[in-house]
Structure 1
């Protein structure tokens, strides 16, 4: 069996929870496979989530010109009953395209992918906060900007996530010690930065006296993992994390994520990863034809574009695993 056929993890003798769906060679090698879960709504047409509240909070990021904390606009979704009792919560971090729809008539509404996730999480009984890291700073998207030219970094996203956590913890309807952070792509990379206990901002939070609860768990959909894998200060988890990525992702390569999860797992840390073979970036999006995005410069093959394609089977499996994961870690 070639190394590429199983994304290189088979020779790693570590307790890594690596799931390769629909892949006979890897299945025969003893890797876990998943049964088909119930289907989710795949178009967003029947989403039952009530209208969100438009809120704002202070990021831990400071405006370099004024020295004041950056104010982040956000959307807050609440399940029934949140006005009467405290509930666990999830902070959801958008990707490089921003959190809103690209359809002009819906530009102030969440994208279908994000609406589907809001619906899933609210139906599970979680309060959900979507911080808008981009429009709050005057950006619409950064997918088409080369990494080295981006003015918005993972440091900013981390500080936004921490500001979101602090804001949620002050609310009367949130269980302050039961908040998870979830993200997609650029936001998934932000999740990895946000739960790296070696990051100074994270270490400062964890060292507070008296202690203040930090994120209880992290979830990253197709993140870029290179920065975390090669972090100069090292990488250890401040909270358990699970990753979902496509084996054919040519935007954020799966290999570094497999390596990161293996490294953490070998060190006894709570990191798991699910890799879906023959699956591309954005697999959890609404069903549509695969798209080749030539305007994106930061893929596995710079200058040659990237592929975005939905995979309903992978999405359904990831959603089912996500629900079990959050129930286990948020206790809901």
Structure 2
């Protein structure tokens, strides 16, 4: 087995550069990621040890890769790992960039949070992303200074807000993400000091027809970030639904039991509590009248193609320079 593993490593390193433009990986590795499970309040307070958990992640290195390659951590949404992150991993590998598909659910015994988001707070997935960053930074085939993070919906909270200096100081450790990318990001919670971010660029992509996660709060958040001097950009796609980049999805799918906070505007209160910004009262996913049930998703090939081109172009500038 050791001889076989060594041979595979040698083949993946020695592959000719002409073969680099392939959507198929040159090498696949499965890694354990040690993390913790925290509630939202515990995460924001920063004073709880949490429950230890071991998660999994799949590292895909591109064909013909040099000895060290940049990598993007992919953080899935409420439905778990689907064809979306898999397709993005192929796109990244074809561009000569590694992909690490992080599974935040299976190690916790979760299949989906679509109908019950309280199973795992989105902020807890940020801790998972930081721990994946540390694991990758120690990998002999990965460039520690060229690791980006890209999240989808629930996972985009981890990818976008991990740029905040406050959260990095509390949970990030010695390494930093080189870029932050969020697709259909829930931006409707204003956290304390969330406009104070590190130097890494932030890019958001969102459909204007999204009735699962509204684009409106992201416009406001991006405006606040720009005012604070951050390198941030929001790209909007018209007539585009939530999860528009999932190639196995029909153009429009109804999810009647999906919990949606598209009408909620929330803010962090004392002691890590989340308040309804309209009423100032403590927010509850189960009882707050702003929470809706029912939403749509749907694949949009044109928006997907545009987003892929934009993300790859952006990452080439940041990770391959």
Partners of 1:213 and 1:331 lie apart in 2 by 18
Query: TM-score, normalized by length of structure 1?
Result: 0.73
**1:297 and 2:259 matched:** yes
For residue 77 of structure 1, the aligned residue among 51, 60, 63 is: 60
**1:138 and 2:109 matched:** yes
Secondary structure class of the residue paired with 2:57: strand
**1:124 and 2:95 matched:** yes
For residues 312-323 of structure 1, the aligned pairs below 5 Å read 312-323=301-312
**1:263 and 2:224 matched:** yes
**1:135-179 CA deviation, whole Å, 9 max, x = no partner?**
11110010111x4xx131133211111110110011110010110
Secondary structure class of the residue paired with 2:250: coil
**Deviation for aligned residue 1:125:** 1.3
For residue 316 of structure 2, the aligned residue among 319, 322, 327 is: 327
Task: Tell whether the 8 Å contact from 1:62 to 1:69 is kept in structure 2 after alignment.
Answer: no
Instruction: State the match for 1:115 in structure 2.
Output: 86
Secondary structure class of the residue paired with 2:260: coil
Please say which of residues 293-302 and 112-121 is displaced more in the overlay.
293-302
Partners of 2:239 and 2:51 lie apart in 1 by 46
Partners of 2:239 and 2:302 lie apart in 1 by 11
Partners of 2:34 and 2:54 lie apart in 1 by 5
Higher relative contact order (CA 8 A, sep 6+): 1
Partners of 1:171 and 1:115 lie apart in 2 by 21
Instruction: State the match for 2:204 in structure 1.
Output: 243
Task: Tell whether the 8 Å contact from 2:23 to 2:93 is kept in structure 1 after alignment.
Answer: no
Task: Tell whether the 8 Å contact from 1:219 to 1:241 is kept in structure 2 after alignment.
Answer: yes
**1:92 and 2:52 matched:** no
Partners of 2:28 and 2:153 lie apart in 1 by 23
Corresponding residue pairs, total: 264
Secondary structure class of the residue paired with 1:179: strand
Secondary structure class of the residue paired with 1:289: coil
Secondary structure class of the residue paired with 1:245: strand
CA RMSD of aligned residues (A): 2.5
For residues 38-187 of structure 1, the aligned pairs below 5 Å read 48-49=24-25, 52-59=28-35, 69-82=52-65, 85-99=67-81, 111-145=82-116, 147=117, 150-187=118-155
Pair 1:155–1:289, CA change in 2 (3 A)? closer
Which ranges of structure 1 fall in alignment gaps of 5 or more residues? 1-45, 100-110
Query: TM-score, normalized by length of structure 2?
Result: 0.76
Pair 1:254–1:176, CA change in 2 (3 A)? same
Instruction: State the match for 2:270 in structure 1.
Output: none
Secondary structure class of the residue paired with 1:224: coil
Secondary structure class of the residue paired with 2:244: coil
Task: Tell whether the 8 Å contact from 1:283 to 1:314 is kept in structure 2 after alignment.
Answer: yes
**Deviation for aligned residue 1:72:** 1.1
Task: Tell whether the 8 Å contact from 1:198 to 1:235 is kept in structure 2 after alignment.
Answer: no
Instruction: State the match for 1:35 in structure 2.
Output: none
Task: Tell whether the 8 Å contact from 2:260 to 2:293 is kept in structure 1 after alignment.
Answer: no
Instruction: State the match for 2:9 in structure 1.
Output: none
- If each structure's strand is expressed as a fraction of its own residues, which one has the higher value? 2
Which ranges of structure 2 fall in alignment gaps of 5 or more residues? 1-21, 43-47, 264-290
